Structure 1
């Protein structure tokens, strides 16, 4: 590492944490304390820091290196670089990415994106790639939870880079790992949907979920609300497989689910995700059912629910806020390192009521 690169790292550390401790910083970079002290002396002569016992702090004019000539915290010279690994960059995830990006821009942080295409093996490769590229921390959105999770925990332990899980539970991670997590409380989201339907007199509420990382939480929340309200426990709960090109499997599942609901006396359903809910609306209308008079539908995700022929009431996870909070959690971990306890944050979804209920 050349001298100017070392000094740049020192200034970034000062902006992040307000102080550089020579022994700890030298050990982290694998350098001698004498080398770091020489760099501190040079930077002090330039007026970019003030030396104190054991290290250095920001100068009395505390904006000098953040917004002074050094430009630390600008787009060209970020305070830190944080990786964001997502399964894909479409449908659900653009608001998460945008929330993280907005928070990164405000904090003077560079955001680097990687995708896994829902492949758990690619998840491990992306973690290693970003760590080796020198990112300061990583935000990891689940590829497929509980599919080779142990390999993910092993990789996180191996790379040593701070990791914040996004829309993923840290449950099951070894207690030796300090992992932060930020996610939507999808179980609560399912509960507010069932509450909404029960308050409108429905005594039986079906559930249809496409296979996804979100589905297990939705199933748990639906079951809790059914029990709490004393609703019919025999209401259909069904899973739709990921759609395959032109084979009609999704349409078959929708027809069967509606048949099962009507046979069980269920006149309402919660459906994950939006496009599946739109499909159920179409099947209901083909049968001559009026929505919501004969059958009520609540979608989960609220990406396109408002565009349905009957605008769908929908649960909206706080995707922007999740991305923003995850970035802020990464930044806090970089600022405070092991001085702050790990955080497991859940943010509550909201219910947007429209014509389908």
Structure 2
């Protein structure tokens, strides 16, 4: 029993250290890193939440707001600002961005009004309009859909809103007078692709392919970066291949056939469900991963669930959310005296079993 308490205290201290460093933690990541069950991590979070040291959120925990900290009841600190946040999804990719934003907001005395828009431009406008019309927010953190023909029109409308705006994991394609004050912070997906290519070349691969999910904003950045890398002749191999759905066996079969014909020995696949589908199909047809074909996934949401576990590029989602709030507070305090900020944050490489060769190049 004494040993169990010691191990529990060690896990909880690790959990608190991760929170202090990143502002948010995910149950599944901690369970994997510490080699325990997700139920064990949830119990640790619950125990810390009872002491007011963390705030429970769906799938993990964040730093608590000042009013929920441990100690005797006290009057909550006055809210400095209220910021509206509209994101396209409240499950895949975005929970960590939101958790990072909430952690920064709690530390800075900012209230966040969160809305989801389901990748629908009309819903983007409706949710943004409701927040502005209510006259309860002093700023907006937005991730609108910018893939359609009306992207310029949407950005022009956003640029004319009565409150300052920071785009989250988005950016205008070009500067215009109405977008000159719109700021943005996003993951540097082009750099993420370069990191993946460097890793695979270091493992000895010279013919590398790229597989992209249809309709993803991230895919657009990866495709542009891929064209630049191919133009430098750094990765001879097939052109970027589009994959419609992770369960579409014909598409996966076509990808593997093209790899065989072009003698491609490594793939970078966006996103995790697609990468897992490719790895599963390889197992079914006798292609060894990573022996015959190395795979690097892009996103690292569920890459650790693959068989083998998938090496992945992990965008800094929590940090994107945190910095967006910090930039908004700076903008609200300093006004237009401060130059507009456009910030790229570097992803990281998480190396697992799907890309390692026994004798990497030196």
Structure 1 length as normaliser, TM-score? 0.74
1:113/1:310 CA distance change after superposition, 3 Å = same
Say whether the 8 Å CA contact 1:181–1:343 is kept in structure 2: yes
- Cα deviation 1:287-306 (Å, max 9, x = unaligned): 11111011100000001101
The answer to whether 1:201 aligns with 2:199 is no
How big is the shift at 1:307?
1.4
Whole-Å separation in 1 of the counterparts to 2:335 and 2:149: 29
- Cα deviation 1:112-134 (Å, max 9, x = unaligned): 11111111122122221111122
How big is the shift at 1:171?
2.9
In structure 1, stretches of 5+ residues that fail to align are 1-69
Structure number with larger C-alpha Rg: 1
SS at match of 1:182: strand
- Cα deviation 1:48-88 (Å, max 9, x = unaligned): xxxxxxxxxxxxxxxxxxxxxx96x73xx421110111111
Tell me what 2:44 maps to.
Answer: none
Tell me what 2:306 maps to.
Answer: 308
Give the 5 Å matches for 1:240-259.
240-242=243-245, 250-259=248-257
Whole-Å separation in 1 of the counterparts to 2:198 and 2:210: 14
Give the 5 Å matches for 1:152-231.
152-177=154-179, 178-211=181-214, 212-228=216-232, 230-231=234-235
Whole-Å separation in 1 of the counterparts to 2:226 and 2:196: 8
Tell me what 2:27 maps to.
Answer: none
How big is the shift at 1:195?
1.1
Whole-Å separation in 2 of the counterparts to 1:356 and 1:236: 22
Let me know the Cα RMSD of the aligned residues: 1.8
Say whether the 8 Å CA contact 1:238–1:257 is kept in structure 2: yes
Whole-Å separation in 2 of the counterparts to 1:227 and 1:154: 33
SS at match of 1:128: helix
Whole-Å separation in 1 of the counterparts to 2:138 and 2:171: 22
Whole-Å separation in 1 of the counterparts to 2:260 and 2:334: 56
Say whether the 8 Å CA contact 1:206–1:261 is kept in structure 2: yes
Tell me what 2:350 maps to.
Answer: 352
Give the 5 Å matches for 1:105-124.
105-124=106-125
In structure 2, stretches of 5+ residues that fail to align are 1-73, 356-362
Tell me what 2:39 maps to.
Answer: none
Whole-Å separation in 2 of the counterparts to 1:225 and 1:193: 12
Residues matched between the structures, number: 279
Structure 2 length as normaliser, TM-score? 0.73
